[in-house]
A and B are shown apart, each in its own frame.
Chain A
Amino acid sequence: DQQVKQNSPSLSVQEGRISILNCDYTNSMFDYFLWYKKYPAEGPTFLISISSIKDKNEDGRFTVFLNKSAKHLSLHIVPSQPGDSAVYFCAASANTGGFKTIFGAGTRLFVKA
């Protein structure tokens, strides 16, 4: 039962263009969402988060959009850079006390120079 789904295993984008990574979730109890980035041979690193009381959060080139009614969130990277090439994980959590974060399967982003 995958509660957090990233349906695109990979995405290829030209440098300078927008990258849009999508994520769907099924559990309506999720109220906090995060994106992590992972390079090969390294652990994931936190990128950006959003609480369910918001529908948008920006941090530099990265913006996360949340559509609660559709149970959908997306990560926009503008402009995309070759260094952004990595696996991006969407994650979600409910208020269980502490961490019980559910991750998606990841989307591999290729940014072509």
Chain B
Amino acid sequence: KAGVTQTPRYLIKTRGQQVTLSCSPISGHRSVSWYQQTPGQGLQFLFEYFSETQRNKGNFPGRFSGRQFSNSRSEMNVSTLELGDSALYLCASSPGTSGRRDIQYFGAGTRLSVL
């Protein structure tokens, strides 16, 4: 079974630009969550999608948005990029059948650098 795939792996953008990151979950998984990892901050929860609906949201500004498609693939968009958005963005999928007691399977992440 293929794992969680995130594309691209690396991205360099400049301030003010926007960026879209993609996540393909494990086949059959219906829940996709996004996290931002920065040094010293651990993984900060962005949002979770289940069956194309945003089910939970973290404390990030509205510049961060996401969506999920009918095949469970998910995209995350960041508009008006700031230097502080430089981070590793991780996507995690889970079956979605046992809620938060499901095990989350993470992709390798997209490393975003904002110059």
Q: Show the binding face of A for B, using Cβ within 8 Å.
A: 4, 6, 9, 32, 36, 41-46, 49, 89, 91, 93, 95-106
Contact = CB atoms under 8 A, between A and B. Distances in A.
A87 to B, nearest CB: 9
A36 B42 CA distance: 12
Contacts of B11: none
A97 B99 contact: yes
30 contacts: A4-B42, A9-B40, A36-B106, A42-B108, A43-B92, A43-B108, A44-B90, A44-B92, A44-B106, A46-B103, A89-B42, A93-B100, A97-B55, A98-B31, A98-B48, A98-B96, A98-B100, A99-B33, A99-B56, A99-B92, A99-B104, A100-B45, A100-B56, A100-B58, A101-B45, A101-B100, A103-B45, A105-B41, A105-B42, A106-B42
A51 to B, nearest CB: 8
B100 A45 contact: no
Contact of A104 (B42, B101, B103): B42
Contact of A32 (B45, B57, B101, B107): B101
A103 B42 contact: yes
Contacts of A32: 100-101
Contacts of B41: 105
B43 A43 contact: no
A32 B98 CA distance: 13
Which 8 A/B pairs are nearest by Cβ-Cβ distance?
A43-B106, A103-B43, A105-B42, A98-B55, A100-B56, A99-B48, A103-B42, A46-B103
A41 B58 CA distance: 25
Given A36-B106, A89-B43, A97-B56, 18 more contacts: A43-B105, A43-B109, A44-B106, A46-B105, A49-B101, A95-B100, A96-B56, A98-B99, A98-B100, A99-B102, A101-B33, A101-B45, A101-B100, A103-B35, A103-B43, A103-B44, A103-B45, A105-B40
